């Protein structure tokens, strides 16, 4: 650590002479703290306008702060530069966020009337973020009176699938797509990998026909996502 008794600093067209300590920090060029403010004497600080006004040798000086900016997406070469320059202070301001690309484009050969409908109701195709609203008529599964829960043996799956299932369940809970339940009825969960290499969360209901009241001739056994 070093010390400079009289360091000339050019700030916004003004030259200030300040005492400064040399410290091994990164991210900023100069830190002006309360000891420097004490050397100014009376001064005016406007935190809404981000301005500081004071006198230096009978000259009235006004310094303006930078207006706050929204977060910007960092590229790989930005983070690489932080690493090589040891910009620790800058790394503290990083926030990792999942970026979901918005792709609302449609094929060029799509009929005009269909494309207009798709653009008008584009929110229908968005990923659900909550449970559907309460309706006058909800779908239910009517069970025979006195039915007991179906006993299903636990299915062994690899630890990688276990972690993936837990992650997907936590994501759906956080998005309110599903709710915690204490129901004794349960169904096996499957991870099915589609052609796009994305695993789909599915559960099977083919264990229920013995206790379900069949109201119509439908196919009960199947995968429901």
d(CA 43, CA 54): 5
pLDDT at 217: 38
- pTM of this prediction exceeds 0.85: no
d(CA 128, CA 143): 29
d(CA 31, CA 34): 10
The CATH number of domain 131-224 is 3.10.10.10: yes
Q: Where are the domains of the chain?
A: 1-97, 131-224
pLDDT at 105: 67
pLDDT at 137: 74
Consecutive H or E run containing 2: strand 2-11
Number of H helices, E strands in the chain: 5, 8
Q: What tens-digit pLDDT sequence spans the chain (225 residues)?
A: 788 888 888 888 888 888 888 887 766 778 888 888 888 888 888 888 888 888 888 788 888 888 777 666 777 777 777 777 766 565 556 666 665 555 566 777 788 888 888 888 877 777 777 777 777 777 777 777 887 777 767 667 777 777 888 888 888 888 777 778 777 776 667 777 777 777 777 665 555 555 544 444 333 333 333
pLDDT at 223: 34
pLDDT at 93: 62
């Amino acid at each position: 650590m070093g010390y400079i008794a009289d360091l000339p600093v050019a700030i916004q067209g003004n030259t200030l002479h300040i005492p400064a300590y040399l410290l091994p920090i990164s991210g900023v060029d100069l830190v002006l703290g309360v000891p420097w403010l004490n050397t100014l004497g009376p001064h005016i600080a406007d935190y809404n306008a981000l301005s500081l006004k004071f006198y230096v040798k009978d000259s009235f000086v006004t310094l303006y702060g930078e207006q706050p900016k929204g977060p910007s997406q960092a590229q790989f070469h930005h983070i690489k530069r932080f690493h090589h320059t040891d910009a620790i202070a800058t790394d503290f301001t990083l926030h990792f966020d999942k970026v979901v690309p918005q792709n609302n484009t449609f094929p060029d050969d799509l009929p005009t009337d269909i494309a207009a409908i798709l653009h008008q109701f584009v929110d229908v195709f968005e990923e659900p973020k909550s449970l559907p609203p309460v309706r006058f008529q909800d779908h239910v599964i009517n069970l025979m009176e006195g039915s007991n829960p179906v006993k299903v043996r636990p299915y062994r799956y690899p630890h990688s699938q276990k972690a993936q299932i837990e992650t997907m369940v936590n994501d759906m809970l956080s998005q309110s797509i599903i709710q915690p339940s204490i129901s004794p009825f349960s169904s096996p969960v499957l991870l099915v990998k589609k052609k796009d290499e994305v695993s789909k969360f599915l559960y099977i209901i083919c264990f229920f026909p013995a206790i379900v009241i069949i109201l119509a001739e439908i196919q009960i056994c199947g995968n429901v996502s």
